[in-house]
Each structure stands twice: as structure tokens, then as C-alpha cells.
């Protein structure tokens, strides 16, 4: 029987492992953490329907709650724009450790083996094929390596450059995040329960302050690394405007990275497929990747199960990438252009956009369910007035025109993804796709 290795216990890797093991395949997950230390000490928001795709229903009611609408602010914090997520699209909020427990218990029931405490160092390559992983406990060989090691995967990074699978991220493709839960100040009231600040302090990035019952959740994100002194300074700035945010660290307090970019242009080759953050499957504007990892897991598992040769060549695995792009990737990739646009905006331009109503609650109702750039555009009777406001700022107009043109090109190239795997064609397609985001 074919031996399938999932490198790293990413959400999509575990979910795909469960579906593959259920169909009788021999699947083992290799993960650096111990089983009781998976994930982070904080909560996550994701679309509950994605669980159904991997054969799971909603978890017990005491394990989740429905997410509160976010309220967005630009740099000067003069105008607030509140999301208005329709009830049938509400996402759920769960402890990350509970999400992991839920999917791991399921995967174990499906027959997946877990090997904890293995730090993966690199792929093992023979000829044109990935045949295994190097770990701190020795080499492990398999017929297919599923890379679920996250944004900085040592498996993807170790692939030969001439295979054209992008090894590392480029500028503005990764978000450096500090997230911590602080005590909630007794008696203090939050103006908005879930406040998201865009370009806070004029720095390209975001910050949020979510006032929960027992603590206040702070996230600081930038497009460059920063240290604890800078995080503490910024936290003090947030404290001065958000009375619920205390100084006592209750949970979290870690630095982490999230890919915020277009999905990988080539995510398969002989013996290898990337999933989740390893393949950059997050919603590029907001960094949510759990639901998309589950959605991709279903597509990957179906592809692997359908390959009765057990050879898992690039040709067969290409169906996974093709179907991923048709169902998800072609909607996510243009959103990466919106993210690039945000990195080009000056704080005063963002303030102007908020003040002139160019962005409305409709556009800000972007959720982890937003897998199409059309989710970002809404036609309304005041559209001409909004357009006129853009025309008045030449620099903003130039940026908007660039974004519109680039998005159209991205949509065009995604529509032309080759259906069949012919190496030269696939590499040429990937090159053209990558060029659009430079």
C-alpha cells in the first residue's frame, strides 16, 4: 500500500490525512510539537461549513460562539465602518487548541498515525521526485509528501530552485504579528467590541482590540519583523484609546507570521503537494486560512484517492492544483492585489477613503468566507459620488487604476490555468501569474 507522509500538522494536512485514511490509505503526520501542545493559546474565527467538507459537523455548543461584527477605523480614527455579516454567513470563534483537538481526534478515528516531536529539516530528493523528509530523528521515506508545515515550510524551502516552486515569500507577502490577551480593566466600557485599526500610527499594518468578557485581545501586525519593545510601545498607544485594555498579560504574547499573498503558483510536483499556509491559501487581506485549508483538504484527498497508480506524479497531482484554482485560488489571487493596494496607500489617503465613503460597510464585510474579489465590490446608487471622490486625488486614482488593471490581468491568467499537466505549459503559466504580483 502507498505510504503517505504529512509533513507538519497544519490544519489542511490533518484534514486531508483524515479523508485519505478513511478511504484506506496509510497516512502518518510528522509534527514538531507534542500532541497536547498543538496550535496557539488563542481563539480563531472560521467558516463552520468548511468542517462539513471534511466529514465533521459543528463541535459541541460549549466549544464555540458566533463571531461579533468588526468595526474598522483608519489612521485618524475619525470614522468607523462596521461590518454587517448576514446571519447565514456568520463565522464561529473557537479556541485554536480545541480546533486541533477536534480534527486530530477525528483523524485518529479515521486511522491516521501521528508522530509527535519530529522536527522536519528538509525534503529528501531523488532525481526529479520528493521521496521523503529529513527530520531530527532520522530520514523518513514515503510515496507522497504532503507539505503542511506552514508559511516557512522547510520542505518547500528545500526544493530545488529550478523546479520553480517558490521557496520563500517576497516583500509585503508575510504579516508579522504579535498577539496577546491582557486583563480587562474592571468597569471600563469598549466603544466597539471588536475594533480593527488600519495603518495605526501611520504604520503599514493593522491592529485590533477585541474586548471579550474575561480579557482584551490585542493583535499588532506589520509587514516587517518587530520586537517586544516595539509591541509594548504600540500596546500603550492602543491603551490610551481603548480603556478596556489592561497591562497584565493573561494569555498568548507570541510573535508569529501569516502569509498574506496570492496562492502558490506551483504547489505540486512528483511526490509532493503543498496545502494550507505552505501553499499560501489564506484570504490575503485578512490572513484567515483555516476554512480554506479544510476546503483544499477535500480537493487534495479526492485527487490522491483517485490516483490508483499510487505513483503520485505531478501529472496526477496537478488535478488538485487545477481544482483548487477553479474553486478557490482564482477568487483569492485578485484579493492579493487589494492587499498590495493597501500597502501603497498613505495614511491620509486611507483617512480620505473613509471620510468620503469610498469604502462602505459592504466592502468591509469581508470574512474568511470571502474567496472571490467580487466580494470586495458592491454597486450602489452612490457609486458615482464615490468614483468622483477618487478622481479628485490623482495619486489615489493612479493606485486605483493600477489595482483595477492588475486585478483584471490576475482574473484573466487564473481563467487560463492549464487543465492538463504539461511541464513547459505549467511553468510558463506559473511565471506569468507570478509576474503580476511583483
User: Which residues of this protein are in contact with ligand FAD, per CB under 6 A?
Assistant: 8-12, 31-33, 38, 44-46, 118-120, 148-151, 154, 177, 179, 256, 258, 276-278, 282, 287-291, 293, 368
Q: How far is the CB of 21 from ligand FAD (least distance, A)?
A: 18
* Residue with Cβ nearer ligand FAD (258 or 353): 258
Q: How far is the CB of 191 from ligand FAD (least distance, A)?
A: 22
Q: Distance (Å, rounded) from C-alpha 139 to C-alpha 159?
A: 16
* Residue with Cβ nearer ligand FAD (11 or 129): 11
* Residue with Cβ nearer ligand FAD (91 or 270): 91
* Three cell numbers, residue 273: 503537494
Q: DSSP per residue over 262-323, as a string?
A: PPPS--EETTEEE-GGGGT-S-TTT---HHHHHHHHHHHHHHHHH-TTS---HHHHHHHHHH
Do the beta carbons of residue 172 and residue 33 sit within 8 Å? no
Q: How far is the CB of 287 from ligand FAD (least distance, A)?
A: 5
Do the beta carbons of residue 399 and residue 345 sit within 8 Å? yes
* Residue with Cβ nearer ligand FAD (259 or 271): 259
- 10 Å CB burial of residue 438 (0-12, 13-18, 19+) is exposed
Q: DSSP per residue over 206-229, as a string?
A: EEEEEE-SSEEEEEEEESS---HH
Q: How far is the CB of 339 from ligand FAD (least distance, A)?
A: 14
Q: How far is the CB of 385 from ligand FAD (least distance, A)?
A: 34
Residue closest to 146 by CA, chosen among 156, 158, 137: 156
* Residue with Cβ nearer ligand FAD (54 or 290): 290
* Residue with Cβ nearer ligand FAD (175 or 354): 175
DSSP H or E run through 431: helix 423-435
Q: Which residues in 166-197 are b (16+ Cβ under 10 Å) and which e?
A: beeeeebbbbbbbbbbbebbeeeebebebbbb
258: which DSSP letter?
E
* Residue with Cβ nearer ligand FAD (63 or 397): 63
Residue closest to 97 by CA, chosen among 33, 29, 39: 39
436: which DSSP letter?
T
Q: Tell the residue number behind the cell numbers 469604502, with chain if given.
A: 359
Q: How far is the CB of 312 from ligand FAD (least distance, A)?
A: 20
Residue 289: count other Cβ atoms within 10 Å of its Cβ: 27
Q: How far is the CB of 108 from ligand FAD (least distance, A)?
A: 16
Q: How far is the CB of 259 from ligand FAD (least distance, A)?
A: 7
* Three cell numbers, residue 126: 531523488
Could you give phi then psi for residue 325, rounded to 5 degrees?
A: -65, -40
Q: How far is the CB of 179 from ligand FAD (least distance, A)?
A: 4
Q: Distance (Å, rounded) from C-alpha 81 to C-alpha 190?
A: 16
* Residue with Cβ nearer ligand FAD (206 or 358): 206
Q: How far is the CB of 129 from ligand FAD (least distance, A)?
A: 21
* Residue with Cβ nearer ligand FAD (105 or 355): 105
Amino acid at each position: 500500500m502507498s505510504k503517505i507522509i504529512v509533513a507538519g500538522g497544519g490544519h489542511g494536512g490533518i484534514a486531508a490525512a483524515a479523508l485519505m485514511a478513511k478511504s484506506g490509505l496509510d497516512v502518518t503526520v510528522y509534527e514538531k510539537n507534542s500532541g497536547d501542545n498543538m496550535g496557539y493559546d488563542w481563539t480563531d474565527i472560521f467558516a463552520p461549513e468548511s468542517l462539513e467538507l471534511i466529514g465533521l459537523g459543528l463541535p459541541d455548543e460549549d466549544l464555540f460562539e458566533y463571531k461579533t461584527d468588526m468595526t474598522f477605523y483608519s489612521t485618524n480614527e475619525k470614522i468607523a465602518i462596521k461590518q454587517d455579516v448576514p446571519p447565514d454567513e456568520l463565522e464561529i470563534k473557537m479556541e485554536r487548541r480545541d480546533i486541533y483537538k477536534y480534527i486530530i481526534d477525528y483523524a485518529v478515528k479515521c486511522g491516521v498515525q501521528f508522530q509527535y516531536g519530529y522536527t522536519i529539516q528538509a525534503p529528501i530528493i531523488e532525481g526529479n521526485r520528493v521521496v521523503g523528509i529529513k527530520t531530527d530523528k532520522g530520514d523518513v521515506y514515503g510515496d507522497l509528501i504532503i507539505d503542511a508545515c506552514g508559511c516557512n515550510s522547510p520542505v518547500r524551502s528545500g526544493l530545488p530552485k529550478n523546479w520553480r516552486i517558490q521557496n520563500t515569500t517576497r516583500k509585503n507577502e508575510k504579516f508579522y504579528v504579535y498577539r496577546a490577551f491582557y486583563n480587562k480593566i474592571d468597569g471600563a466600557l469598549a466603544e466597539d467590541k471588536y475594533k480593527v485599526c488600519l495603518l495605526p500610527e501611520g504604520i503599514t499594518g493593522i491592529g485590533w482590540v477585541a474586548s471579550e468578557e474575561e480579557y482584551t485581545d490585542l493583535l499588532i501586525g506589520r509587514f516587517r519583523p518587530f520586537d517586544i519593545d516595539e509591541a509594548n510601545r504600540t500596546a500603550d498607544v492602543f491603551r490610551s484609546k481603548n480603556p478596556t485594555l489592561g497591562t497584565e498579560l493573561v494569555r498568548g504574547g507570541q510573535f508569529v507570521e501569516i502569509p498574506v499573498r496570492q496562492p502558490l503558483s506551483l504547489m505540486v510536483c512528483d511526490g509532493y503537494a503543498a496545502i494550507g499556509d505552505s501553499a499560501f491559501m489564506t484570504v490575503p487581506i485578512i490572513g484567515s486560512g483555516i476554512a480554506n485549508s479544510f476546503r483544499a483538504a477535500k480537493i487534495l484527498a479526492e485527487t490522491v484517492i483517485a490516483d490508483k497508480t499510487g505513483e503520485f506524479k505531478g501529472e496526477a497531482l496537478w488535478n488538485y492544483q487545477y481544482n483548487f484554482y477553479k474553486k478557490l485560488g482564482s477568487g483569492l489571487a485578485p484579493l492579493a492585489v487589494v492587499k498590495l493596494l493597501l500597502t501603497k496607500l498613505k495614511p491620509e489617503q486611507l483617512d480620505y477613503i473613509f471620510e468620503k465613503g469610498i469604502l462602505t460597510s459592504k466592502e468591509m464585510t469581508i470574512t474568511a468566507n470571502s474567496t472571490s474579489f467580487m466580494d470586495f465590490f458592491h454597486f450602489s446608487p452612490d457609486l458615482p459620488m464615490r468614483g468622483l471622490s477618487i478622481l479628485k486625488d490623482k495619486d489615489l486614482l493612479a493606485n486605483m487604476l493600477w489595482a483595477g488593471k492588475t486585478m483584471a490581468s490576475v482574473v484573466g491568467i487564473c481563467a487560463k490555468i492549464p487543465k492538463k499537466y504539461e511541464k513547459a505549459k505549467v511553468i510558463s503559466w506559473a511565471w506569468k501569474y507570478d509576474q503580476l504580483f511583483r
